[in-house]
Amino acid sequence: MPRRLDASAPDFAAAFAAVLDATRDTPEDVDAAVRAVLAAVRAEGDAAVSRFTAQFDHVALTAAEFRVSADEVAAAVAACPADLLAALDLAAKRIEAFHQRQRPADLGYTDSTGTKLAQVWRPIEAVGLYVPGGTAAYPSSVLMNALPARVAEVPRIVMVTPPQGGTINPLVLAAASRAGVTEIYRIGGAQAVAALAFGTETIQPVDKIVGPGNAYVAAAKRQVFGRVGIDSIAGPSEILVVADAANNPRWIAADLLSQAEHDPSSQSILITDNKDFAAAVEAAVDDILTTLPRAAIAGASWRDHGVVITVPSLAAAIPLIDALAPEHLELAVAEPEALARGIRNAGAIFLGRYTPEAIGDYVAGPNHVLPTMRTARHTSGLGTVDFLKRTTMVHCTPDSLAAIGPAAVRLATAEGLDAHRLSVAVRLEG
């Protein structure tokens, strides 16, 4: 059964603090195992990648078999049903359109001293995309990771994804072909992250790694950060639904389970101002679980990490939302925009009774790679800007250096950095 909290109860503060403090993080033994994998791949290259692929994915691959060929991609596309390709194309079109609108503009101006100042955006040269495999195939993750990189005009986009029995889901390959991926490798896990970060004889290293994965992938990304850039450390998926009693309980139950079915460590939270409605949603969850194909996963998530909170009013939910800083937030209420205006911390917000979070996973347009584990307090979801770097430019003239240089001389002197002082002063002296 999920944990039940009543915001009006005298012990609510302590109970809510326990929800915030509950950990679903990577255990220490995962970190240690990943550290060994990274070291081996860095030292041995392809041989270590092959060994770990056999050990963890139970697939025997030589280095020559890592890369998916253009012919394999074409055959995969041809094998996909036309209706699925049409759905993929609709999703791709909407995702690309949204991310095109995220492109930042360069800036440049000359200030009152005559100094020219500018900022320009340039694409990262090579990006690695991790696409999860495991218990499900995720062509949507291919689109969400690759299309912003293509919009940013990244010249080299490398995808890695774990093979299932030596093969990759055809729709995943179709998504890659439509999203501008330039290289595809059938490897996954920490060994794939290591190959992207350090390079091997077969795989050239990249400059940044993005995309979600399991605990081992998350730990690997954390450990290679600095050698390469990363988007974030993705934890288990989570959803917070704020709903009033005017909703259909079964709709809300389905929304809660939509994230619970990802992983037993996922978390689904309901906040409502009506106790009877809360009970009705819980009953609907139990009913849906009797027929859900991934009921074992979703049921474990709901049982171990699910939370139902009743509040005296919907306005009282706002500070709880900001404290939870959820990855996905649904506002299934009569006036969702008014409620959303008061919320500071959420990865993505879905407004109204007809906007289930799952629409954002596939076809809405904004990215579904979002901050988890309360990191929405300081981090945003993946976007076009994550595949760009900004560089500033300064151009002084003799007159503008004469205007601002003396202040730099004084500050350098105060900091005891005489070469700094001298590099400006010699120019002022002529």
pLDDT given for residue 134 in this prediction:
62
Quick one: 15 and 35 in the same domain? no
Does residue 348 belong to any structural domain of this protein?
yes
- The pair of three-digit structure tokens given for residue 420, joined into one six-digit string: 């700094």
What's 421's domain CATH number? Answer: 1.20.5.1300
Does 69 map to a domain? yes
Separation of alpha carbons 289 and 284, rounded Å: 9
Please indicate, yes or no, if residue 369 is contained in any of the structural domains.
no
Residue 134 resides in a domain: yes
Convert the pLDDT of each residue in 31-89 to its tens digit: 999 999 999 999 999 999 999 999 999 999 999 999 999 999 999 999 999 999 999 99
Which of 211, 230, 249 marks a domain boundary?
230
244 assigned to some structural domain: yes
Do 197 and 300 lie in one domain? The reply is no
Q: Is 327 a catalytic residue?
A: yes
Q: Are residue 106 and residue 223 in the same domain, yes or no?
A: yes
Point out the domain boundary residue: 344, 364, 384: 364
Could you tell me the residue range of the domain that residue 420 belongs to? 396-429
Verify that 218 and 263 share a domain, yes or no.
Answer: no
Please tell me the predicted confidence (pLDDT) of residue 235: 84
* Cβ proximity of 394 and 115 under 8 Å: yes
Concatenating the DSSP letter of every residue in 220-245 gives: HHHHHBTTBEES----S-EEEEEE-T
Q: How far is CA 98 from CA 26, 91, 101, 109, 218, in A?
A: 33, 11, 5, 29, 27
Do 34 and 20 share a domain, yes or no? no
Same domain, 175 and 304: no
**181 and 328 fall within a common domain:** no
- Let me know if 58 is a catalytic residue: no
Write down which residue in 212, 230, 248 finishes a domain.
Answer: 230
Catalytic residue among 96, 238, 327, 357: 327
pLDDT of residue 18: 95
Are residues 90 and 225 both part of a single domain? yes
Q: What is the pLDDT along the chain (430 residues), one digit of tens a residue?
A: 899 999 999 999 999 999 999 877 656 689 999 999 999 999 999 999 999 999 999 999 999 999 999 999 999 999 999 999 999 999 999 999 999 999 999 999 999 999 999 999 999 999 999 998 865 678 999 999 999 999 999 999 999 999 888 789 999 999 999 999 999 999 999 999 999 999 999 999 999 999 988 889 999 999 999 999 999 888 889 999 999 999 999 999 999 999 999 989 999 999 999 999 999 999 999 999 999 999 999 999 999 999 999 999 999 999 999 999 999 999 999 999 999 999 999 999 999 999 999 999 999 999 999 999 999 999 999 999 999 999 999 999 999 999 999 999 999 999 999 999 999 999 999 7
Q: Count structural domains, the chain.
A: 3
Q: CA 335 from chain center: how many Å?
A: 28
Please write the tens of the pLDDT for every residue from 117-140: 999 999 999 999 999 886 567 899
pLDDT score at 25: 61
Q: Report the half-sphere exposure of 296 (CA within 13 A, side-chain side).
A: 1
Report yes or no on 380 lying in a domain.
no
CATH of the domain at 302: 3.40.50.1980
How far is the C-alpha of 160 from the C-alpha of 126, rounded, in Å? Answer: 13
Of 282, 328, 330, 368, which residue is the catalytic one? 328
Q: With respect to residue 113, please indicate whether it lies within any of the assigned structural domains.
A: yes
**Structure tokens given for 206:** 């990249």
Same domain (yes/no): 111, 13? no
Q: Which pLDDT score, from 0 to 100, does residue 23 have?
A: 78
Residue 29, pLDDT score: 87
Residue-level pLDDT at 244: 98
Cα-Cα-Cα-Cα dihedral sign, residues 99, 101, 102, 107: positive
Say if residue 48 is in the same domain as residue 112: yes
Give pTM, 2 decimals. Answer: 0.93
Residue 332 and residue 402 share a domain: no
Q: Is residue 336 part of a domain?
A: yes
For residue 430, the model assigns a pLDDT of: 77
Q: Are 4 and 308 in contact (CB under 8 A)?
A: yes
Residue-wise over 228-246: b if at least 16 C-beta within 10 A, else e? bbbbbbbbbbbbbbbbeee
**Are 195 and 239 in a shared domain?**
no
